[in-house]
Structure 1
């Protein structure tokens, strides 16, 4: 490996003005390389940055307003380290399902000149791993002319698509940089109630797709007495570890890669990263593979559990914006909601507290102006709050409104009833 070892400053000399640069995400942003690239700002112009889902320690240095002529920020998922800057206009987001972005790289719609990645140390045969972030990294590296890598002692070695030989790396920098750790969210009483409602609807032998946060952790905690669950998900978190370690998740009834847990990225604690290291019954795959709805549907009883910012009375789901302000991205919600709905015995859930931390209802007569629809009303099956489950599948719009009002916060139900009566008339009023 020594012939490719460089200092960070030397490695990023391979980036030229006008290049398109992909930066690996999840909890593995190659921070040393990113800072070295940013330090060259005075020499660079028009470098287009592609970033996906990521959790950064601090704001991305290349987003600073004074560097906007050097770096053109294009987010494929608005992450915490760039959110404030994009809201201020110092960058833009590209709407896309996470699962379709590898195709945009591969067909040249989004050309990639340089990939900055954070890799594990090589094994005896010279193979490194993308570790916690196969998602977009696999396709970006496949398409890049130049691959610049941090070889990181802290990165676990994961299998699947997340493997690259050192011969494919053009410049390498050795680092010992701890991965960002995402604290395990302890479910609140409200989230625990939501989790129990969902768990009651999940059968033994189901295949789980589950997101990040208090509600997903509450669902997982409520599944401890289930049997023969499988895992085929976009994001893997600490919440699944008790179920893996106890054997509740054994992947024995999956059709796609039976016996193996499948994810595209991971974010959590050091305990999760250590669990992943050189574990052959857990693989990380290209997000175009994990999120393909027609692959997802091949598994039996897929349970797709996702969240939202707000939901309207017809079941439209906004999950990526607060009004006009983009706060995240579509991610894989639509892919798994679609794949789950097609799966034999599959079910899909949107799980939300009835109100925001400010006390505003998350179930609204109409979405906030500017809000983006991530999952259409045609796709939604169950909306779950701490007040119960609204079963929407096969219901007309007036019936949906009645079901959603029943799980809204009591303080807003009268207001929502008036809005529904005005919108749907007798069709709504006759439903008891």
Structure 2
């Protein structure tokens, strides 16, 4: 049977495709814009006929009908990482949360530690050989494709056909529906003077020829904006976005000096503009791979001079980072921060930067603290921390004693809080 005949046999309405989900199923959905809106809307519409269905995903971008505390016995969201659509439900307790390292989610699926009964994903149009590209988020989704009873695709001509290990054959697909809506665009965060100051400190420590991992946020993007004069940078990251695209367009990124896959950029999900998605289409310099390739510290560390740039919300005197909760209230998740901190620490010449403004709430709260707020989820540990950067400077903590770390961190705290931080350090016998 030809691939085109198979395509026609498996093509159906979104409602019929969503009908493949059975009570008790876990539906795996890719990160961010890899989520298929037409299918998830159809699933939401029939949720009252289902029981104990779970939708598992990192960073949902739209608040679908199933995000409903009244119908969680029908369809319930389980977050690998909270986003705007899931955060309020997570804090209220009716959205579940599964702690994880991003790089290890495929392993959890493969070993059956987390279920994967059905896959819902955006996909590019099928090529002449019968393959679709799950280019917007192969992440953990490719592992789920191998385990799932049913793979259901939303085929959209605006999804790029990218290279890498992100392809699914028509023979693996149970059903597909078609849509032509524009892919959701996510703009660059706002960058102010604090972000610019932090970005300059980090940029000054990045050498020509470094390979970059850039996290999401205003400060990482402020770093990117100050790297356009660099030469022969490489990209090995989890997220490719418009900040990285601007570096490519400036000529700063060539990937020539990468020691792992020279000449190629690697990423596991995309989050940006239409221009970015068009750039990804059949681009031989970019490969989209599952997250256990991009984020595995052993693999990523094979890039010499790997530089990881990630944001946090709070750092204590030992260097512990609370990057994902406000005290006990969940806010985001571990994501790939620890993966890339560890990778950069293992990399020959690598550097891992944790960046944060020195204060919060209009300069009324210090983000450098003696101890983390009770209940805070520790993300990057005291044993993994390398560079911490605020708008007041850089503290390199790796190899330093607790006393040395405390002194260095107070030195980059907001001046208004340094006195009380010193008094607290004395009470803790750190100064």
TM-score of Structure 1 vs Structure 2, range by shorter chain:
over 0.9
Report whether the alignment pairs 1:49 with 2:55. Answer: yes
Q: d(CA) in 1 for partners of 2:51 and 2:375?
A: 33
**Contact (CA 8 Å) 2:31, 2:57: kept in 1 or not?**
yes
> Which residue is equivalent to 1:406?
411
The answer for the alignment partner of 2:422 in structure 1 is: 417
String of CA shifts for 1:27-47, please: whole Å, max 9, x gaps: 221111111112112211011
Q: Is the 8 A contact 1:184 1:269 kept in 2?
A: no
Aligned to 1:37: 43
Shift of 1:12: 1.3
Equivalent residues of 1:318, 1:374 under 8 A apart: yes
Residue 66 (structure 1) aligned with residue 70 (structure 2): yes
Aligned match for 2:245, one of 225, 241, 257 = 241
Hey, what does 1:365 align to over in structure 2? 370
* 1:13 and 2:19 correspond: yes
Distance 2:86 2:386 in 1: 33
Please state if 1:385 is matched with 2:390: yes
Q: 3-state SS of the aligned residue for 1:341? A: helix
Residue in 2 that maps onto 1:130 = 134
Offset of residue 357 of structure 1: 4.1
Q: 1:30-76 deviations in whole A, cap 9, x for unaligned? A: 1111111121122110112211233x13x232120111110232211
Give the SS at the match of 1:27: helix
2:216 to 212, 215, 220: 212
Matches of 2:148 and 2:67, distance apart in 1 = 22
Any gaps of 5 or more consecutive residues in structure 1? Answer: none
SS of structure 1 residue aligned to 2:178 = strand
For residues 189 and 195 of structure 2, the distance between their equivalents in structure 1, rounded to whole angstroms, comes to: 10
Structure 1 match to 2:3: none
Distance 2:412 2:53 in 1: 48
SS at match of 2:34: coil
Q: Residue in 1 aligned with 2:118?
A: 114
Displacement of 1:239 in angstroms is 0.6
Q: Which of 138, 146, 164 is equivalent to 2:168? A: 164
**Equivalents in 2 of 1:135, 1:28: separation in Å?**
10
1:150 paired with 2:154, answer yes
1:84 aligns with 2:88: yes
Change (3 A) 1:392 1:185: same
Which residues in structure 2 correspond to 1:168-187 (within 5 Å)?
A: 168-187=172-191
What does the per-residue CA deviation read over 1:90-123, in whole Å, with 9 as the maximum and x for residues that have no partner?
A: 1210000011000010111112111111101112
Alignment partner of 1:28 is 2:31: no
Mapped partners of 1:91, 1:415: distance in 2 = 38
Q: Given that residues 198 and 219 in structure 1 are in contact (C-alpha distance below 8 angstroms), is that contact kept between their aligned partners in structure 2?
A: yes
Structure 1 ranges of 4+ moved more than 3 A: none
Q: For 1:98, which of 90, 102, 105 is the aligned residue? A: 102
- Return the alpha-carbon distance in structure 2 between the equivalents of residues 264 and 15 of structure 1: 26
- Aligned residues of 2:44 and 2:64 also touching (Cα < 8 A): no
The answer to whether 1:289 aligns with 2:260 is: no
Q: Distance in 2 between matches of 1:42 and 1:60?
A: 14
- 1:216 Cα offset (Å): 1.4
Find the residue that maps to 1:62 and give its secondary structure. coil
Give the structure-1-normalised TM-score: 0.96
Q: Is the 8 A contact 2:217 2:311 kept in 1?
A: no
How far apart in 1 are the matches of 2:9 and 2:191? 49
State how far apart, in whole Å, the 2-side matches of 1:187 and 1:44 are. Answer: 44
Give, in whole Å, the separation in 2 of the partners of 1:240 and 1:78.
Answer: 23
Deviations 1:335-367 (A, max 9, x none): 110110111111111011111244221111111
Report if aligned partners of 2:228, 2:251 keep a CA contact under 8 Å in 1: no
Structure 1: distance between partners of 2:189 and 2:57: 25
Give CA deviations for 1:313-333 in whole Å, capped at 9, x if unaligned.
Answer: 110001111111111111111
Query: 1:114, 1:206 → 2: CA distance?
Result: 40
Note the alpha carbon deviations across 1:365-403, whole angstroms, 9 max, x for none: 111111011110111111100001012121111111111
